[in-house]
Amino acid sequence: MSENSEAPGTPPAAAATGSGSGGGAPTPLGPQPEPIRFFGTTWVDHDGGYGLRRAGVAAGSLAAAVGSCLALRFAYQGLAIAEVDSIVGMLVIVMFAVCSAIAFRKTWESFGARPKDPAREDSLRGLKSIGFIGSLLAYFFRSLIEAPGEKLHRAEYESARTQFEKRRATRTGNPAARKRPKRR
């Protein structure tokens, strides 16, 4: 989450009121929701065609998965035409099945929590690329429930808003503007 305290080049008074010098709508103070791919920030209030976007993402990811399966079928037929041993064909099928299962699991987990070890996620990038059908299917099934990653982003956003409001409520004003007691 990003806290909107001051934009570069914005005078402190304009940043404190939340109004910029651009003349547009004032920027709200506090944390801003993080956009999700294909959804932007429509996931916050489920507005701006959120339902249609979810349906489009579900249909698109399913169509991409089906197209990918057809492409893999043509590749397998190419192996049959080349008359390779049956063991090679089985290894290709097992490789794509295992990689797709791992990619599905990792993609599904990424919708609910940030990775604990980003270096390990980077090392799995190639494996997830081979198992792209699993990632597409995870995206499809998740988009039937919610925007992929919405639960994680909503929890982080709500937490950031709560922390911001708590910090804001505990402030008693500008300490520099307080009147100091007169010395006797």
* Residues of the chain predicted below pLDDT 70: 1-26, 170-181, 184
Q: What's the rounded Cα separation, in Å, for the pair 42 and 158?
A: 15
Please give the pLDDT value at position 177.
Answer: 56
List, for residues 132-142, the tens digit of each pLDDT value.
999 999 999 99
Nearest CA to 131 among 89, 69, 82, 77?
Answer: 69
Contacts of 154 (CB under 8 A, 6+ apart): 43, 44
Helices (H) and strands (E) counted in the chain, each on its own, are 7, 2
Please give the pLDDT value at position 173.
Answer: 64
pTM, rounded to two decimals: 0.73
8 Å CB contact between 133 and 100: yes
Please give the pLDDT value at position 158.
Answer: 92
Please give the pLDDT value at position 25.
Answer: 65
Backbone angles phi, psi at 30, to 5 degrees: 100, -175
